[in-house]
Amino acid sequence: MDRPAPRVLESECLFSAIRARGPGGQNVNKVASAVRLSFSIPDSSLPEAIKQRLLALHDHRISSAGVIMIRADTRRSLEANRADALERLQALVEQVSTPVRARKATRPGRAARARRMEVKSARGQVKRLRGRVRTDD
């Protein structure tokens, strides 16, 4: 049974409103509708195992101090961008919440080895037929 990923508490996130990038006229130039979310992994209430997996991720959004910085500016309103940033942070936590299972090394069975040898010998026969025609006198 898989346990659900822990929820990120909104109270542990620090939001700041910034100006969005790109074209958009007055709305972009005057209104700070983009959001920058800061989330400190070491100071959070997440379980220790998830904190370690988050810190081990090689993600450009995670600083060396363990702070996740997410910028959301795809929506026109501040509230929608704030919700988008929280969703993206939650998705990152859900990504690391299930540990990667270690691969168990296996060996090919007898039938698989026999099929492989049949394919190899058939291919060799095709290549042999491409050679010069020999006349045995």
Domain annotation covers residue 112 = no
Q: How far apart are CA 44 and CA 95, in angstroms?
A: 17
Instruction: Note the pLDDT of residue 19.
Output: 85
Name the residue range of residue 17's domain.
10-97
Where the chain has pLDDT below 70, the residues are 1-2, 23-29, 137
Angle of helix 78-97 relative to helix 48-56, nearest 10 degrees? Answer: 100
Domain annotation covers residue 86 = yes
Instruction: Note the pLDDT of residue 2.
Output: 61
pTM score, whole prediction: 0.69
Say how many domains are in the chain: 1
Instruction: Note the pLDDT of residue 1.
Output: 42
Instruction: Name 58's Cβ contacts closer than 8 Å, sequence gap at least 6.
Output: none
Instruction: Note the pLDDT of residue 31.
Output: 78
Q: What is the CATH number of the domain that holds 15?
A: 3.30.160.20
Instruction: Name 23's Cβ contacts closer than 8 Å, sequence gap at least 6.
Output: none
Instruction: Note the pLDDT of residue 27.
Output: 67
Instruction: Note the pLDDT of residue 82.
Output: 94
